[in-house]
Amino acid sequence: MRKQIINFREERELGQNINATFSFIRQNFKLLCKCILFFAAPFALLSGIFNGLYQSRLYQVLGDDRPYSTYGEYTFFNQVTSLNYLVSIFFSVVSFVMMGLAVYCYMLEYMDNEGEATTEGVWARFKANAIPLLYATIGAVIITTIGLLLLVIPGIYAAVTLSVFMMVLLREEIGFIEGLERCLYLIKGNWWSTFFLLFVIGLIQGIINVVPAIPAFILPFLGALELPGSTNTLISIILVSISSVLGIFIYSISIIAAAFQYFHLVEVRDGIGLMEQVALIGQSTTRFEANEGDY
């Protein structure tokens, strides 16, 4: 039985968008997970390793009244600990971008090949866009962060507006500045609907994310009770790494929802899907008239 192909180019209300998101995940679960595992999970694993090192050494400090014999030892420890934290943050951002890129490349393969996507096709798109999209997304993150630091509201506005930024760059093949302008154009008059979608999806995602977050909470629990293993570096690395890798799969839910919102916004503003349907009707009519002329 041929699977039902999900149409991206159509207007969707909040509930319809959420249903489409989970329908797409359910229909493509195996291949989606495979793409995320290959293209994003290694970076999430590195983030977990360095975060585990950071947390382990942090608990060692908190659990020892006199952890340093000299000021030089104290300075060195702080530098190493900070380095682990910064490297963890770096790989966390990279893993998020790579996950988004992998998911969106898969969705575009699905869309352009009538519901049939392969890892080879996803990889071809992925390697062609990985570096430029990483730079562009980091730039968007910086803009959002500056907005949050200056005033909370501008940061929230920027975060919602740029939620479709990655898909805009991939689908429309435009640059950084053009992508920002396109996001502002699409979101105009539709900011609140996008905000509510991301808010609801965020709540659902947060509930699901409780499960992969459990390993990361075990270590502080052991430390609070002063139980063995709370300062064990290997245990810390394993637990935090598991949490990081599982978490990257959960975060794909909001990424997919943002993609469906992008296509919804394009239909609201430009009506591309409607124009494609009209063009197809015109082609069908032309072929019908041509066939009539043969009789």
pLDDT tens track for 84-131? 788 888 898 999 999 999 999 999 999 999 888 888 999 999 999 999
Cα 120 from Cα 169, distance rounded (Å): 21
| Measured distance CA(100)–CA(198) in Å, rounded | 15
Rounding to the nearest 10 degrees, give the CA dihedral for residues 130, 132, 135, 141: -80
Confidence of residue 81 (pLDDT cuts 50, 70, 90): low
Size of the chain in residues? 295
Looking at the whole model, is its pTM more than 0.85? no
Structure tokens given for 279: 């063009």
The residue among 86, 89, 96 whose CA lies nearest residue 41 is 96
Please report the pLDDT score of residue 282 as a whole number: 47
Which residue is associated with the tokens 């790579």?
98
- For residue 270, which amino acid is it? D
Q: In this predicted structure, what is the pLDDT of residue 77? A: 58
228 half-sphere exposure, CB direction, 13 A CA radius: 0
The domain segmentation of the chain, as residue ranges, is: 16-63+75-284
Mean pLDDT of 64-74: 51
Instruction: For residues 237 and 182, give the distance between their C-alpha atoms in angstroms, rounded to a whole number.
Output: 41
Range from 18-22, 46-50, 279-283 carrying the lowest mean pLDDT: 279-283
pLDDT band at 242 (very low <50, low <70, confident <90, very high): confident
How many Å apart are CA 177 and CA 182, to the nearest integer? Answer: 9
The two three-digit tokens of residue 188, written as one number: 């105009």
Asked if residue 180 lies in contact with residue 166, where contact means CB atoms within 8 angstroms, the answer is no
